[in-house]
A and B are shown apart, each in its own frame.
Chain A
Amino acid sequence: MQVRFEHVRADYQLGPIRTANVINDINVELPTGTFTAIIGHTGAGKSSLLKLINGLLLPTAGEVHVGGLTINANGEKKILNQVRKRVGMVFQFPEAQLFAETVEQDIAFGPINFGFTQEQTKKAVRDSLDKVGLSVDLLKRSPFSLSGGQQRRVAIAGIMATNPDVLVLDEPGAGLDPEGRKKILSMLKCWHNEHKATTLLVTHDMDDVATYADDVLVLDHGRVASYQSVRQFFGDESRLNELAIDMPEPLRVQRRIEQEKGIKLSQVSLTRSELAANLIKEQLV
């Protein structure tokens, strides 16, 4: 499903204080099946952008198109419900939304709300539990008796169970150990590849951007500062400096080598294996 923003503006209300134009005239089209990383400094509007996609935040002006559905300032309930059925949203620390007595009930919560039949629900629960790499033995356990990492998987399974066409992820790896973080992200990437789900990932880790995403969308004060492919984006060093965005580790190493040796590699290395390949190709090692 394609996600398209058309002249979208949005305000953010916290108590009586209104912050105007957290999202300021955003015009962007994310094609079906792409994996886009959304980066930007704190308060740039990343979370607000995600919330706009499933109508948790309504635009004050402009329209958000998700597939054939249109969200505008009115936010008709019927449309919102359809949108939410198609959009899976993994919040920051999603384990905070667990509530049911058993893992099974918790995962089934979404599917039941969206009108899955009993059989479909049962199947969805098992499938998604399998996807996140947990065993069916856990189904009857209380989600609160699980470890932190397992809880997060259960929460993510609860979102995947509805089989969304658009997957929206707000720092899904935050607070986990490096190993668990990697596992969660590669699992989500797998899901993306299999289902051709349009995926948006908010992250602060440039290595994650380089490893998992196809495109990068940089937000700055509620505007799109840049939207291009990962390779193009990280290749433009002066623009990175301008936006005060770090390079992924392998690229930093590459730049350092280039500086020391006074040469320029033809390719931008986004991952370690790419860096190794590039170095071998240029016969530097």
Chain B
Amino acid sequence: MNKLILGRYFPGESYLHRLDPRLKLVAALYFIGLLFFVENGQGYIWLFLFTFLLMRLSGVSYSVYLKGVKPLIWLILFAVMLRVLFTGGGTIYFSLGPIMISRFGLLSGFYTFSRFIMIILISTVVTLTTKSIDLTDAIHALFKPLRLLRIPVDDFALMLSISLRFVPNLLDETQKVMDAQRARGVVFGEGNLIEQMKKLVPIVLPLFVSSLKRAEEMADVMEVKGYRSGEKRSSFRQLKWHLRDVAAIVCLIVLTLGVTFFNTFDFVLLFNI
């Protein structure tokens, strides 16, 4: 329960913390998009440098990021292995039936690996430096145009912010219920799949009960405080555009120019396909 890093917020005062959440969200998506336009190894190195710069700026230690990557490492390695073993071309170092290790394969394995890692790292940077409430505000702001299509954007934003708000509570509660059942003799992580699934019932059920109870209480409180859905409302937290946000956009432009530059001129030929 305590190993989940993605989606946790680390309080801080860094440049990244103070950036506009709308910008952070769009920039992260843009960066992920950019990853797919890189054509050679030096481009990836360029993006890696940028990623490390951001991680440094966030003021959170590298070990925290490493923990964020850890749960996904097997998935990544699986994807990389597929690439390495089944891509042909260039010099072939080893081959056995459909399986081969080639220069192409190794390189595209490296590219896949870099993409995965950077996607995780960048989204971790965003979530570590942005409060979930700011993130929902940003999503709300970005989806506002959909109102024209009569989509209840505000209601969705509220639902999202409520569910994000209760994630930490739910995690704490899970820990508590698990402790309570362990004290009653449950040993987790033992036995076959069916047995292990059966052991989940004493955890999931109490959580369901308490979540439903809380939802009901919450609805009552909102009603009492005069909340009505579908009404026009203003927001307590106002998102404001600052000079530092413009600076961040300039950074992104430089980053993009760098990628185009490295795509056009190859310096480190070693990494090319």
Contact = CB atoms under 8 A, between A and B. Distances in A.
B165 interface: no
A200 interface: no
B202 A109 contact: yes
Interface string B172-183: 010011011111
Nearest to A77: B187
B56 interface: no
A51 B182 CA distance: 11
B6 to A, nearest CB: 11
Nearest to B173: A96
B23 to A, nearest CB: 25
Given A15-B2, A15-B4, A97 B185 contact: no
Interface in B183-204: 183-187, 201-203
Of residues B10, B180, B182, B183, which shows the largest number of chain A Cβ atoms within 10 Å of its Cβ? B183
A91 to B, nearest CB: 5
A57 B171 CA distance: 17
Contacts of A144: 209
Contact of A110 (B2, B185, B187): B185
B184 A159 contact: yes
Contact of B5 (A16, A88, A158): A16
Nearest to B208: A99
Contact of A16 (B64, B187, B206, B210): B64
Interface in B1-24: 2, 4-5, 8, 10
A198 B177 CA distance: 24
A91 B180 contact: yes
Contacts of A77: 187
B8 A16 contact: yes
B205 interface: yes
B182 A84 contact: yes
B42 to A, nearest CB: 33
Interface residues of A, number: 29
B67 interface: yes
A175 B171 CA distance: 22
Given A91-B179, A96-B176, A85 B185 contact: yes
B254 to A, nearest CB: 31
Interface string B57-81: 0000000100100000000000000
Contact of A84 (B10, B67, B183): B183
A113 B186 CA distance: 6
A89 interface: yes
B184 A109 contact: yes
A99 B202 CA distance: 5
A158 B202 CA distance: 13
Contacts of B67: 16
A162 B184 CA distance: 9
Nearest to B61: A16
A54 interface: yes
A81 B185 contact: yes
B185 A14 contact: no
Interface string A78-90: 0001001101110
B180 A84 contact: no
Nearest to A88: B183
Contacts of B186: 113
B94 to A, nearest CB: 41
Interface string A39-73: 00000000000010010100000000000000000
Nearest to B182: A56
B185 A96 contact: no
A98 B187 contact: no
A88 B182 CA distance: 11
A162 B181 CA distance: 13
B181 to A, nearest CB: 6
A89 B184 CA distance: 8
Contacts of B206: 96-99
Contacts of B64: 16
B201 to A, nearest CB: 6
B177 A162 contact: no
Contacts of A15: 2, 4-5, 8, 171
A248 interface: no
Contacts of A158: 184
A89 B178 CA distance: 13
Contacts of B4: 15
21 contacts: A16-B10, A16-B67, A51-B179, A56-B179, A56-B183, A84-B185, A89-B183, A91-B176, A91-B179, A91-B180, A94-B180, A97-B177, A97-B180, A97-B206, A98-B206, A99-B205, A110-B184, A110-B185, A158-B184, A159-B184, A162-B184
Interface of A: 13-16, 51, 54, 56, 77, 81, 84-85, 87-89, 91, 94, 96-100, 109-110, 113-114, 144, 158-159, 162
- The 6 A-B pairs with the shortest beta carbon distances in the complex, nearest first, are A113-B185, A97-B180, A99-B205, A110-B184, A89-B183, A99-B202
Given A16-B2, A84-B185, A89-B180, 16 more contacts: A16-B64, A56-B183, A81-B187, A84-B182, A87-B183, A96-B176, A97-B177, A97-B181, A97-B184, A99-B201, A99-B203, A99-B206, A100-B202, A109-B184, A159-B184, A162-B184
